[in-house]
Amino acid sequence: MLKSFFRNILLPSLKWQLAIIPPGINFLRLALDTAGVPKIIASHLLNSHFPLEALLFIMPLLISFLTGIHLAAVSISIPLFLSYLSGENLAQPMFLLLTAATVGYWMSPFHLCLILNMQYFKSNYFGTIRLMLCPALTVAIAGIFMYAAMKISGGS
């Protein structure tokens, strides 16, 4: 039974294109990081006249979308915002930041899980994202409402 599984199911599903996707994604991510693209985006957004709450959402969303790694967005965004958030309860802004980073990560064309699944199921990016848009927007809107509710109540 195991031999049949390998011969009839596993081996036919393996394709050489799937093997080059992870190194390609990591190369692109490292190129973006080396070029300083996330920091450039961050500096432009922080120097703009956007409200801090909007930046807490937009910046990690963009960084995680561009890198395909939500932890990169968090690790880049938090140090930039800490000086602006001194004296505040950090649970509320960090909640908003993490929500945005997660939504950007889900929708990223560099998200490795998304790419491998699209390759395996032979789907295209825009068709897949169209199906994911409603759940991602629901999470984003819920995160914004939760942030606003925590801000109004003054709790953590």
Domain ranges of the chain: 18-153
Q: How confident is the model at residue 155 (pLDDT cuts 50, 70, 90)?
A: low
Token pair of 79 as six digits:
């140090």
* Nearest one of 32, 85, 33, 34 to 55, comparing CA atoms: 85
Q: Hey, what are 155's tokens?
A: 């709790």
The tally of CA atoms less than 13 A away on the side-chain side of residue 150 is: 17
Please report how the helices 16-35 and 37-46 are oriented relative to each other, as an axis angle in degrees rounded to 10: 50
Q: Encode pLDDT of 67-96 as tens digits.
A: 888 887 888 788 778 777 776 678 888 899
- For 98-139, the pLDDT digits (tens) are 999 999 999 999 888 898 888 888 899 999 999 999 999 999
